[in-house]
A = this chain, B = another copy of it.
Amino acid sequence: MVALVVHGGAGHWVEAERDAAVAGVRRAAAAGWRILDAGGTALDAVAAAVAALEDDPLFNAGRGAVLNAEGEVELDASIMAGDTLASGGVTCLRRVKNPVLVARRVMETTDCVLLAGAAATAFAREQGFADFDPVTDRRRARWEAERQSAARDDSVPGTVGAVALDAGGRLAAATSTGGRELKRPGRVGDSPVPGAGNYATAQAAVSATGWGEYMLRMATAKAIATRIEGGATPDAAAAAVLAEMQRVFGTPIGVICLDARGAIGVVHGTEGMPHAWRVHGDREVGARFAV
């Protein structure tokens, strides 16, 4: 049994972009699936899927990430291997094409789990990641309009993520984002933090999206993983924590998750969250805008 789910963000998607978003998550899932199908690891699969989403300027991660209050892009990402609980992350990373791949280097080449700010960017350069400007004309134009506007337009989708189970029974999760538009420089969101926006154990892999501060305060991904470990199905676990987030904070979240038998959970409290999935065995394959 191998399985993969990816999502492209649970924010507000304008009607005109929904098909493109579904096509984008389908391509990202295909990139991850090629790895799993060839006997590769869940870790490689989630890294490839999230890197594909980072490369697609439609999504708020890597190229196409939204700008902060100073008109800069600061990127957050993390990746986690369920079998070892190894985790790597970067926050407030600048001018890198694929933050999720830098996060993986943090995991694999340092004794740290999370690197922040200028030091994270310096680490990326040490590791050979070239200087790359992730700002697109479209995001810049939007930022120029938004920062002068009293009424905020919330039609920028959030965080992207992937979860996978490989043939060796290993689970992994990866998450990447540009964070909130007009965010304060130096703000750390949930995506780079294990237990908040991303988490994987021997029994559960979780990637979540939503208002980062609420996810940090709830330790949302850990809460979902704990429920799966306690015997809940991924769908039930994610739905329970979504309900808790709505009750406590009045805020919706989006979640993709997997258990070690390849059961999938996809929930969102928003109108949509483009996602794609594929599971061997019972041959579930699909991509859609909303559950």
Contacts and interface: CB of A to CB of B under 8 A. Distances in A.
Interface of A: 80, 85-87, 91-92, 110-120, 122-123, 183-188, 193-196, 199, 212-213, 216-219, 222-223, 226, 248-249
Contact of A222 (B85, B119, B122, B223): B223
B92 A116 contact: yes
A191 to B, nearest CB: 12
Given A194-B219, A226-B223, A248-B85, A117 B117 contact: yes
A119 B85 contact: no
A116 B85 CA distance: 24
For the complex formed by this chain, how many copies does it contain in all?
Answer: 2
A31 to B, nearest CB: 27
Contacts of A116: 91-92, 116-117, 186-188
Given A92-B117, A193-B216, 13 more contacts: A85-B249, A87-B216, A92-B116, A113-B188, A116-B117, A116-B186, A117-B119, A119-B185, A123-B184, A193-B193, A193-B196, A194-B196, A226-B226
A241 to B, nearest CB: 12
A216 B187 CA distance: 18
B195 A222 contact: yes
B111 A186 contact: no
Nearest to A111: B213
A184 B199 CA distance: 24
A79 to B, nearest CB: 12
Contact of A195 (B115, B184, B216): B216
Nearest to A200: B217
Contacts of A123: 184, 186
Pairs A-B, 8 closest by C-beta atoms: A119-B186, A117-B117, A195-B219, A116-B116, A219-B222, A114-B188, A85-B217, A113-B213
Contacts of A248: 85
Contacts of A213: 111-113
30 contacts: A86-B217, A91-B188, A112-B187, A112-B213, A113-B213, A113-B217, A114-B187, A115-B184, A116-B116, A116-B187, A117-B117, A117-B119, A117-B186, A118-B118, A119-B184, A119-B185, A120-B186, A122-B186, A123-B186, A193-B193, A193-B195, A193-B216, A194-B196, A194-B219, A195-B195, A195-B216, A195-B219, A195-B222, A222-B223, A226-B226
